[in-house]
Amino acid sequence: MHLRADSSKCCGCRACQVACSLANFGENNPKKARLAIHPHFPDPGVFEVRTCTQCGTCAEVCPVDAIPVDKKGVYDIDPEKCIACMACVEACPEGVIFVHPDREAPFKCIRCGQCVAHCGMSVLWIE
């Protein structure tokens, strides 16, 4: 199962990012979302939604095995094991492993589905 996005439907409202940050960090802070919305300026209204494909590249490059995969195929960064080397951030082919000054370890999508539930444009879905 993967989190998918149809960027052509995205209006750039960032409701998905707010829902993600609230669900995962208890904060209304899109900068702590586990998915990315990239505006394509100067084209008005054109946004690219980037999501984790759970490809496992992050786990492959982690020198301390801090990114295990669960039974559902979701890779999650264990902040207790992570040494913040940022190898996963650099290696991510989708550019969706994030860092924030409030956190020592990077973070990524854990496919919680909150972004899907709160997207009013039906941009996101899990298949």
Whether 127 maps to a domain, the answer reads no
Whether 76 maps to a domain, the answer reads yes
Whether 63 maps to a domain, the answer reads yes
Look at residues 63, 41, 58 and name the one whose alpha carbon lies nearest to residue 94: 58
* Plot region of 35 (φ>0 → left; ψ -120 to 50 → alpha; else → beta): beta
What CATH code is carried by the domain that includes residue 53?
3.30.70.20
The total of structural domains in the chain comes to 1
* Residue range(s) defining the domain that contains residue 30: 3-121
Split the chain (127 residues) into runs of 10 and give each run's mean pLDDT. 94 97 97 96 88 97 98 97 98 98 97 96 96
The pLDDT, as a whole number, for residue 41 is: 84
The pLDDT, as a whole number, for residue 32 is: 97
Query: What CA–CA distances, in Å, run from 21 to 16, 27, 33, 36, 67?
Result: 9, 6, 5, 12, 20
Whether 117 maps to a domain, the answer reads yes
The pLDDT, as a whole number, for residue 103 is: 96
The pLDDT, as a whole number, for residue 45 is: 82
Whether 126 maps to a domain, the answer reads no
